Amino acid sequence: MPSHDFRAPRLFVDVPLAQDARVPLDRDQSNYLGNVLRLAAGAEVLAFNGRDGEWQAAIEGRKRPDGLVILQQTRPQDRLAELAYVFAPLKHARLDYMVQKAIEMGAATLQPVLTRFTQASRVNTERMRANVVEAAEQCGILSIATVAEPVPLDRYLSQRAADRLLIFCDEAAEVQSPIRSLEKARAAGLDQGRIGIDVLIGPEGGFAEEERALLLRQPKILRLALGPRIMRADTAAVAALALVQAVLGDWDGT
């Protein structure tokens, strides 16, 4: 990947981007650039839309920023790996944190699933999407992950593609080296370069026995223990995705 400019502000704009195009700013974007960052007309930012790569842009507007003029492309569009993060929803701030970290870890899809012991039955997917965009803006990510609507666990399992690897993080599994387990999956060709991967983290109350039995009947499943200690769900998300990306994902640069 080309070197990223970590100092320039980045802005997600959901419009086509091309050289010399003019992009209107909404009120929140105008306030952010003008009142928070104190930027005026002529200042440069980076703009992206998740489709056309990243572009250098100049702010337009007299009294306040009200648009951008697109100057030149700084990075071509990339594509997220075939990695889905599947999780039992959490409440409010902890869900915000988990969504942001999943995006930073490279998840392409966020799929909430409802289990017997799920803490939060109502999920604000618009808030999740806002967190996806914010994480992408802050971390130099070009693609915007998909946020799926929540579904019951059994429905998700019946609808998912059977050729994808399902990594089931189970607190009841025998504690073994997760790295060795993932390396065996890689040796068998079960990595992101060949198939998609779904990483599943359950609720803090754990899976019900009938849910665990249903999961263990799925094809291409890898039951994974995340060490000898019980983690909170948002901590488990970071740990699991880091392990998967390091062994089966795109962290090796290939």
Per-residue pLDDT of 101-125, as tens digits, reads 999 999 999 999 999 988 887 899 9
Confidence (pLDDT) at 253? 62
Q: pLDDT tens across 190-213, in order?
A: 777 778 999 999 988 889 999 999
102: helix, strand or coil: helix
Residues near 75 by beta carbon (within 8 Å), at least 6 away in sequence: 1, 2, 4, 53, 54, 142
Q: pLDDT tens across 124-180, in order?
A: 999 999 999 999 999 999 999 999 999 999 999 999 998 999 999 988 778 788 899
Closest C-alpha among 242, 241, 233 to residue 94: 233
Radius of gyration for the chain, computed over Cα atoms and rounded to the nearest angstrom = 20
pLDDT above 50 (res 1): no
Axis-axis angle for helices 92-104, 233-247 (nearest 10)? 10
CA distance 219 to 214: 11
pLDDT above 80 (res 252): no
Closest C-alpha among 131, 89, 116, 86 to residue 240: 86
Confidence (pLDDT) at 100? 96
Q: Do residues 113 and 152 make contact, with C-beta atoms less than 8 angstroms apart?
A: yes
CA distance 177 to 114: 29
Structure tokens at 10: 């980045």
Provide the H-helix boundaries in 140-208: 153-159, 178-187
Q: pLDDT tens across 211-236, in order?
A: 999 999 998 999 998 888 888 999 99
Q: Do residues 155 and 149 make contact, with C-beta atoms less than 8 angstroms apart?
A: no
Structure tokens at 137: 């803006």
Confidence (pLDDT) at 161? 92
Q: Do residues 216 and 157 make contact, with C-beta atoms less than 8 angstroms apart?
A: no
Q: Beta partners for 222?
A: 167
Confidence (pLDDT) at 125? 94
Q: pLDDT tens across 8-22, in order?
A: 899 999 999 999 999
pTM for the full predicted model: 0.91
Distances (CA, A) of 148 to 85, 145, 197: 10, 10, 16
pLDDT above 50 (res 45): yes
User: Token pair 């930073």 is at which residue?
Assistant: 104
Q: Is the dihedral of CA 212, 216, 219, 221 positive or negative?
A: positive
